[in-house]
């Protein structure tokens, strides 16, 4: 079996399939996901797994160059916002209104969703893939 990091078979597959600027949305359990998009649904129940734990594990394996979040996260979910900033360290953060965030998830084609059990508001991030060379 796999020794570390992401154990989920579909998520490991998706991460290993990603190229430059491809996008992975890690979302709370309430974000509307456009019909027809690929979803890796990890939500078991309320707050299992947590949004931040999921982002952390993904970033052990995925090289990112920036993230996109909703403006609203900072004011409405400050704990998550502060922790997210620590986890991503020096990567640029683009902030957009939540409505625009959802629009990006609709119009992007190379985008896949990882749904967590998170039950706090605006706990959603778009991870934009970087390259390692």
Q: How far apart are CA 130 and CA 17, in angstroms?
A: 12
Q: Show the binding pattern over residues 78-97: x = contacts its own copies (CB under 8 A), - = does not.
A: --------------------
Regarding 7 and contact with its own copies (CB under 8 A), the answer is: yes
Q: Show the binding pattern over residues 21-60: x = contacts its own copies (CB under 8 A), - = does not.
A: --------xx--------x-xxxxxx-xx---xx--x---
Catalytic residue, chosen from 20, 78, 94, 106, is 20
For the chain, the C-alpha Rg in angstroms (whole number) is 14
For Cα atoms 35, 29, 15, give the angle at the middle one, nearest 5 degrees.
Answer: 70
Asked if 98 is an active-site residue, the reply is no
Pairing verdict, β 111-115 and 23-27: parallel
Catalytic residues, by residue number, are 20
């Amino acid at each position: 079996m796999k020794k570390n990091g992401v154990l989920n078979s579909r998520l490991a597959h998706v991460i290993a399939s990603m190229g430059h600027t491809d996008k992975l949305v890690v979302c709370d359990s309430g974000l509307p996901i456009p019909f027809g998009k690929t979803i890796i649904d990890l939500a078991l129940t309320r707050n299992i797994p947590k949004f931040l734990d999921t982002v952390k594990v993904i970033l052990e394996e995925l090289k990112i160059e920036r993230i996109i979040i909703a403006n609203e996260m900072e004011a409405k979910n400050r704990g998550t916002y502060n922790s997210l900033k620590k986890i991503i360290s020096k990567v640029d953060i683009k902030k957009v209104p939540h409505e625009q965030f959802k629009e990006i998830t609709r119009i992007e084609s190379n985008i896949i969703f990882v749904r967590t059990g998170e039950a706090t508001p605006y706990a959603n991030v778009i991870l934009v893939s970087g390259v390692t060379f």
